[in-house]
A and B are shown apart, each in its own frame.
Chain A
Amino acid sequence: MKIMVAVKQVAALDEDFEIGEDGRDVSEDFLIRDLNEWDDFSLEEAVKIKEASAQAVEVIAVTVAPESADEALRKCLAKGADRALRVWDESAQGSDSIAIARILAAVAKAESVDLVFAGVQSSDHSFASTGIATGALLGWPHAAVVSALDYSPGSKSAVFRRELEGGLLHEVEIQCPAVLTIQLGINTPRYASLRSIKQAAAKPIEVKTLSDLSLGKGDVGASGSHSRVRRMYIPDKSRAELIEGDPAQQAQRLAQIIREFKGDAA
C-alpha cells in the first residue's frame, strides 16, 4: 500500500523585493523558500494513516523541482515520509500546473500508488489545479478541499468530508485509487525537530528524469503547458478617501472628484 504526497517548495517574499529582468517573476534573491503550508497537512494525513495501520504503508513525498527543493523533501522525511522523490529536467522550466500534473501522474503510475494527496493550493501561485489535474490525467476519481478523511489501507473506498459554503458539510465516498486535495486544518501537523531534519539529511532523495517516467521534453515546460505567465507586476497604488460633512458637502466633494478624474478640473 502506497500513498503519494505531492509537495512543493514555495516562495515567500522578503521585505523590499524586486521583479526579475524578464518581468515574469520576483527576482530569486528576494525569495524565502519553505515547504507549502497545505503540504504540511497532506503529508501529516498520510503519515497518520501509516501510523494507524496494521499493514505496511509507504508514504512517498514527490516534488517536481530542481535540487534546491531538496530541503523541502528533507522536511517531509523528517516528518515521517518513507521516501522522497524529486523529478527534474531543465526542459521542465516554465511548466504550468497541467504540465507539472502530467509528471506527477507519471510518477503515480510508475510507483503504482493507491492514493495521491496534494495540497488544495500552493501559497505562492495559488492555481489550486495541480492536484485535480493529476487526478484527471490519471483518470482517477478526485475531490478537492478535503477537511476530514476516513480511510483504512487496503479498502476499496474512502469516506471524506468537505466544507461547503453556508456551513454545510459534504460527506462523500470515493473509489480508490483516488486523488484528494487536502485543506488546512484537517489535522495538526507535527513539529519536525532540527535533529530529525538533520537525520533526514542522511536519507537518500531519489532523483528521476523525464525518460525514467517515459515522458518527453514536449510533455513539459512551455510546450507541455496550457498557459503561460505574461508578466508579474505591482499595481499602482489606488487611493481611498473618506468624504466627510453633511450630504450636500459630500455631494459637492464627490462631484469635484469626478471632475478631477475626467480631467476637466477647475
Chain B
Amino acid sequence: MSRTDAVTRILFEAFPTVEVRLFYVLGYTAIAVFLYGVYVQIRKYRRGAALKLEGSIYSRLLDMTVKVLDQRTVARRDAAAGGAHRLIFYGFVLLFLGTATITLQYDILEPLFGIRFWHGEFYLIFSLVLDIAGIAMLAGLLYMMYRRGWLKPPKLDYARPDRAAGDADFERPQYRREDWAFLWTLVVIGATGYLLEAARLVWLEARPDVWDTRWWSPVGALIAEGLQRLGLDAHGGGVLRLSLWWFHGILALVFIALIPFTKVKHIFTAAASLMVRDPLAAQRLPRVPENQAAPGVAKITDFNWKQLLNLDACTKCGRCHEACPARAVGAPLSPRDVILSLREFANASLQSGKLPEAAELDVHGKSSGQVAQETLWSCRTCMACVEICPVAVEHVPIIVQMRRKLVEDGAMDPILTKTLQTIHKTGNSFGESKRKRGAWSKSLPFKIKDARKEPVEVLWFVGDYASFDPRNQKVTQTFATLLHEAGVDFGILYDGESNAGNDVRRVGEEGLYEVLAGANIAALEGASFKTIVTTDPHSYNTIRNEYPDFGGKYEIQHYTSFLKQLFAAGKLKVEQPVKRRATFHDPCHLGRFNKGYEAPRELLKLLGCELVEMGRCRDNSFCCGAGGGRIWIPDPVGTEKPAQNRIREAAAIPGLEVYVVSCPKDLTMFEDALKTTGNEGKFVVKELIELIREAVPAPRAEAALA
C-alpha cells in the first residue's frame, strides 16, 4: 500500500461484518422511509388541480439554481439571519456532497469499476474543506439559536392575528418544538462528527498516515489533542469512536428519513417553489378556465399542485407577516398564517391513502386549518408578501382565488356588494352616469380630443377616481393642461371608458372584470393611437399585465415616466424650482407591481425637491390600504388604518413639507389620514402633478387656469 493510498477516510475499519451489514440495513431503511415520504408529498400535490407552466424548464432551472446558490432572497431585509442561513446552507451542502462522494467511491465506483479517488492529497484537501464547512454550519446554527432564544424578533412569534388567545391553533407550540428540534439535531450531528473525528485520531495515533496528517482536519485534531491531555489512550479512543460512530450515523440517518415529514423538507420544496415561480403572480391574476364549474377555490383540492407546493415551501420566516399592512394595523390577517393554515389543512386531509369526502375538504370557515372570510377580506392585494417571500410563495393569487368563491356565494360586505352592482350598472364605482365621465374636461379652456372620433398620438386612460372624485379632478385637469402646453397630441375615450377593472378583479369578481376588460378593449380597439398614458397605477397595472390575456396588447406608460420624457425632450421646463423637503410614497401598483421606482424620484429631483425617504420605501412601500377593493369596504371603527400608520411614519421625518403621491386613490386616502392623525398643517399631501405645475408655471395666456 503506497503512502497516498493509506491516507484516506477511515470508514468501517475494525467493524465486525455483522455491524457493517446492520449499518447498510439501517441506511437503506432510512432511504426507503425518505422515498416513501417523498411519494406521500408528491401524491399530496398531485391531488391539487392541474396547471400548465409557461416558459422553458431550463430557464426556470437556471433561475432557481442562481437563487438557491446566491441565497439573496433569504438575506433581504434580514442580513444577519441571511448570513447565518448562508453559513448553514453552504456548510450543509459541502458536508452532504462530501459524504455523497464517499458513497460514490465506496459503494459504486470502486466495487464496480475499481476507481478510487478518495485518498492522498484529494482526501486531505477534502478533509480540510469539510472541517471548515462543519464550523460554518455550526456557527450558523448557533446564531439561529441565539436569534430564536434571545433576540426573539416579533416576526418569529407564531401567535396569530386571525385567532384569539385560547383557540387551539392560536400559538401553535408544535412549530416552536419543531424549530428547536431541527436546530439541535443538526448541532448534535455536527458536534458528534468532530468528536468522532477526534476519537478516531486518538484511536489511530500510532498510524503515521493518520496521525501525521491530522492537521488537515484542524478541529478534529484540536479536540484529539485535548482528549489525549484528558488521558484518553488509543484503546479508549477506539471504544469512543465506535459508540460515537453509531450515534452520529443513526442520528444522520434518522434526519434523512424525516426530511419529507418535517420542516427540513424546505430544502426541496423551497427550491421547487422557486423553480415554478410566476414573476407576475400578483400583477396578472389567473383566468377562470372555461370548463371550470365554479370559479375560485372552495376545497383544498381546488388549489393547483403548484399552490399546494407553495404551502409546503413556507419556512415561517415571517417576512410576509412583517410586511403585511393589514397585519400591521391589527386586521385579522397574516399572509404567513393563511399559508400555514392551508398547509395544516392539506397535511391533515391529503396525506392519507384515501381522499376524504368533498365536504371535509372545504377550506372556508373558522375551524383549524380553515381560512375565515374576515381574513380574506382584510387583504389589500398590495403584493408586499409575494414580493418579499424568499421561497416564492404566491399569497395574493391564493387569497383572490378564495375570494372568488366568497363573491360567488355573496359572502361580502354589503357596501362592496352595492359597489359591484353599481359598477356593473354604470361602468364606474361612483354610480355616476356614464355620460359624466369626461365632464371634468368641460371647464378647461381647450377641447380634449375624443379618441373614439379622431386619431391621437397618446391615448389617456383616465380611470374612475381621476374622472369622478372632485379632489382628483383638479389633478386630472392640471395633467391635461400640462399635456396641452407641452404640445402632446392626446385624447380620451370619454364615456367609452369604463372602470379598468384592476380592483374588481382583486376583489374576486372575475365575471365583472371580464365585462369591464372586454368593454375597454373594445373601446381601445375602436380608437387610433400609438401609446396609452394613465395617471392611475391601478389601471396601468391591469392594462399592462392583464389585458393581454384578453386580447388587448398595448404599450402603456404611467404618467411619471411619460412626463420624464417630456422634460428630457425639453417640452416641459422647470422654471420655478420647488425647493421643499419632500418624501415620496411608492404606490403598490406602480412600485412593487411594475418596478416604477425611479421615474417619480427623478422628477422630484428635477423639480428641485429635497427627497427624504421613509424607512419603508420602494419594494417595501407600505400600502395606503385602498387596494384589493378595500377602498369599497369600510375599515372597522376604532382601529388604525394603514394610511394613518403611513402618515405617522412620514410625520417622523424632521421638517417634512410635502408628502408626494402619484396615484389618485393615494391622494384620497392620505389627505384623509393627514386630517385624522392630526397632522394637518404640519405638512401637505400633494400629487406629483401638482408639484410639477408649481415648477412649470402656465404660459401667461393661460395663467388664469392654473
Q: Is the CB of A197 within 8 A of B412?
A: no
What are 8 contact pairs spanning A and B, CB under 8 A? A32-B433, A34-B425, A190-B410, A191-B407, A191-B410, A193-B512, A194-B515, A195-B511
Given contacts A34-B425, A188-B414, contact A193 B511 (CB under 8 A): yes
Residues of A within 8 A of B417 (CB): 191
Q: How far is the CA of A193 from the CA of B511 in the complex (A)?
A: 7
Q: Is the CB of B425 within 8 A of A198?
A: no
Q: Is A196 an interface residue (CB 8 A)?
A: yes
Q: How far is the CA of A193 from the CA of B405 in the complex (A)?
A: 10
Q: Is A25 an interface residue (CB 8 A)?
A: no
Q: Is the CB of A14 within 8 A of B514?
A: no
Q: How far is the CA of A195 from the CA of B408 in the complex (A)?
A: 8
Q: Which residues 1-19 of A sit at the B interface, judged by CB distance below 8 A?
A: 14-16
How many chain-B residues does the 8 Å CB contact rule pick out?
Answer: 23
Q: Is B436 an interface residue (CB 8 A)?
A: yes
Q: Is B435 an interface residue (CB 8 A)?
A: yes
Q: Is B131 an interface residue (CB 8 A)?
A: no
Q: Name which of A32, A190, A195 has the most chain B CB atoms within 10 A of its CB.
A: A195
Q: How far is the CA of A196 from the CA of B511 in the complex (A)?
A: 8
Task: List 18 additional A-B contacts (Cβ < 8 Å) besides A191-B421, A195-B408.
Answer: A15-B436, A16-B435, A32-B425, A32-B433, A34-B425, A188-B414, A191-B410, A191-B420, A193-B407, A193-B509, A193-B511, A194-B424, A194-B509, A194-B510, A195-B288, A195-B295, A196-B408, A197-B511
Q: Is the CB of A194 within 8 A of B436?
A: no
Q: How far is the CA of A197 from the CA of B424 in the complex (A)?
A: 11
How far is the CB of B521 from the nearest CB of chain A, in Å? Answer: 16
Q: Is B441 an interface residue (CB 8 A)?
A: no
Residues of A within 8 A of B295 (CB): 193, 195
Q: How far is the CA of A191 from the CA of B414 in the complex (A)?
A: 9
Q: Is B71 an interface residue (CB 8 A)?
A: no
Q: Is the CB of A195 within 8 A of B510?
A: yes
Q: Is the CB of A32 within 8 A of B426?
A: yes
Q: How far is the CA of A15 from the CA of B414 in the complex (A)?
A: 26
Q: Which residues 496-514 of B sit at the A interface, judged by CB distance below 8 A?
A: 509-512, 514
A199 and chain B: residue at smallest CB distance: B511
Partner of B433, one of A15, A188, A196, A198: A15
Mark each residue of chain B from 414 to 456: 1 if its CB lies under 8 Å from any CB of chain A, else 0.
1001001100111000001101100000000000000000000
Q: How far is the CA of A34 from the CA of B509 in the complex (A)?
A: 20
Q: How far is the CA of A198 from the CA of B510 in the complex (A)?
A: 12
Q: How far is the CA of A84 from the CA of B127 in the complex (A)?
A: 82
How far is the CB of A107 from the nearest CB of chain B, in Å? Answer: 28
How far is the CB of B670 from the nearest CB of chain A, in Å? Answer: 30
Given contacts A15-B435, A32-B425, contact A191 B412 (CB under 8 A): yes
How far is the CB of A39 from the nearest CB of chain B, in Å? Answer: 14
Q: Is the CB of B511 within 8 A of A194?
A: yes
Q: How far is the CA of A121 from the CA of B512 in the complex (A)?
A: 29
Residues of A within 8 A of B408 (CB): 193, 195-196
How many chain-A residues does the 8 Å CB contact rule pick out?
Answer: 14
Given contacts A191-B412, A194-B512, contact A14 B425 (CB under 8 A): no
Q: Which residues 25-60 of A sit at the B interface, judged by CB distance below 8 A?
A: 32, 34
How many residue pairs between the two chains, A and B, have CB atoms under 8 Å in the bound complex?
42
B424 and chain A: residue at smallest CB distance: A194
Residues of B within 8 A of A15 (CB): 432-433, 435-436
Q: How far is the CA of A263 from the CA of B412 in the complex (A)?
A: 61
Q: How far is the CA of A59 from the CA of B278 in the complex (A)?
A: 46
Q: How far is the CA of A32 from the CA of B417 in the complex (A)?
A: 19
Could you tell me which A residues sit within 8 Å of B by CB distance? 14-16, 32, 34, 188, 190-191, 193-198
Q: How far is the CA of A194 from the CA of B423 in the complex (A)?
A: 11
A194 and chain B: residue at smallest CB distance: B511
Q: How far is the CA of A215 from the CA of B88 in the complex (A)?
A: 87
Q: How far is the CA of A15 from the CA of B424 in the complex (A)?
A: 18
B514 and chain A: residue at smallest CB distance: A194
Q: Is the CB of B436 within 8 A of A198?
A: no
Residues of B within 8 A of A14 (CB): 433, 435
Q: How far is the CA of A243 from the CA of B621 in the complex (A)?
A: 56
Residues of A within 8 A of B426 (CB): 32
Q: How far is the CA of A191 from the CA of B404 in the complex (A)?
A: 13
Residues of B within 8 A of A196 (CB): 408, 511
Residues of A within 8 A of B436 (CB): 15
How far is the CB of B366 from the nearest CB of chain A, in Å? Answer: 20
Partner of B511, one of A32, A188, A198: A198
Q: Give 10 closest A-B pairs by Cβ, nearest first.
A: A194-B511, A191-B410, A195-B511, A190-B410, A15-B433, A194-B512, A191-B417, A14-B433, A193-B408, A193-B511
Q: How far is the CA of A32 from the CA of B407 in the complex (A)?
A: 25
Q: How far is the CA of A257 from the CA of B512 in the complex (A)?
A: 56
Residues of A within 8 A of B420 (CB): 191
Q: How far is the CA of A34 from the CA of B431 in the complex (A)?
A: 13
Q: How far is the CA of A136 from the CA of B426 in the complex (A)?
A: 38
Residues of A within 8 A of B288 (CB): 195
B426 and chain A: residue at smallest CB distance: A32
How far is the CB of A82 from the nearest CB of chain B, in Å? Answer: 19
Q: How far is the CA of A193 from the CA of B513 in the complex (A)?
A: 11
How far is the CB of B536 from the nearest CB of chain A, in Å? Answer: 22
Q: How far is the CA of A20 from the CA of B250 in the complex (A)?
A: 92
Q: How far is the CA of A108 from the CA of B425 in the complex (A)?
A: 31
Q: How far is the CA of A147 from the CA of B436 in the complex (A)?
A: 37
B508 and chain A: residue at smallest CB distance: A193
Residues of A within 8 A of B514 (CB): 194
How far is the CB of A31 from the nearest CB of chain B, in Å? Answer: 11
Residues of A within 8 A of B435 (CB): 14-16
Mark each residue of chain B from 283 to 323: 1 if its CB lies under 8 Å from any CB of chain A, else 0.
00000100000010000000000000000000000000000
Residues of B within 8 A of A197 (CB): 511
A197 and chain B: residue at smallest CB distance: B511
Q: How far is the CA of A120 from the CA of B421 in the complex (A)?
A: 22
Q: How far is the CA of A194 from the CA of B504 in the complex (A)?
A: 12
Q: How far is the CA of A153 from the CA of B436 in the complex (A)?
A: 48
Residues of B within 8 A of A191 (CB): 407, 410, 412, 417, 420-421
How far is the CB of B286 from the nearest CB of chain A, in Å? Answer: 15
Residues of A within 8 A of B410 (CB): 190-191, 193
Residues of B within 8 A of A16 (CB): 435
How far is the CB of B412 from the nearest CB of chain A, in Å? Answer: 7
A15 and chain B: residue at smallest CB distance: B433
Q: How far is the CA of A165 from the CA of B510 in the complex (A)?
A: 44
How far is the CB of A37 from the nearest CB of chain B, in Å? Answer: 11
How far is the CB of A40 from the nearest CB of chain B, in Å? Answer: 10
Q: How far is the CA of A133 from the CA of B379 in the complex (A)?
A: 50
Residues of A within 8 A of B424 (CB): 194
Mark each residue of chain B from 652 to 681: 1 if its CB lies under 8 Å from any CB of chain A, else 0.
000000000000000000000000000000
Residues of A within 8 A of B425 (CB): 32, 34
Q: How far is the CA of A106 from the CA of B295 in the complex (A)?
A: 40
How far is the CB of B144 from the nearest CB of chain A, in Å? Answer: 47
A188 and chain B: residue at smallest CB distance: B414
How far is the CB of B329 from the nearest CB of chain A, in Å? Answer: 27
How far is the CB of A36 from the nearest CB of chain B, in Å? Answer: 14
A198 and chain B: residue at smallest CB distance: B511
A33 and chain B: residue at smallest CB distance: B425
Q: Name which of A32, A191, A196 has the most chain B CB atoms within 10 A of its CB.
A: A191
How far is the CB of A256 from the nearest CB of chain B, in Å? Answer: 38
Q: Name which of B414, B432, B433, B514 has the most chain A CB atoms within 10 A of its CB.
A: B433
A40 and chain B: residue at smallest CB distance: B421
Q: How far is the CA of A197 from the CA of B417 in the complex (A)?
A: 15
Mark each residue of chain B from 122 to 143: 1 if its CB lies under 8 Å from any CB of chain A, else 0.
0000000000000000000000
Q: How far is the CA of A197 from the CA of B420 in the complex (A)?
A: 13
B510 and chain A: residue at smallest CB distance: A195
Q: Name which of A16, A194, A198 has the most chain B CB atoms within 10 A of its CB.
A: A194
How far is the CB of B279 from the nearest CB of chain A, in Å? Answer: 28
Residues of B within 8 A of A188 (CB): 414
Residues of A within 8 A of B407 (CB): 191, 193
Q: How far is the CA of A193 from the CA of B423 in the complex (A)?
A: 12
Residues of A within 8 A of B432 (CB): 15
Q: How far is the CA of A32 from the CA of B510 in the complex (A)?
A: 24
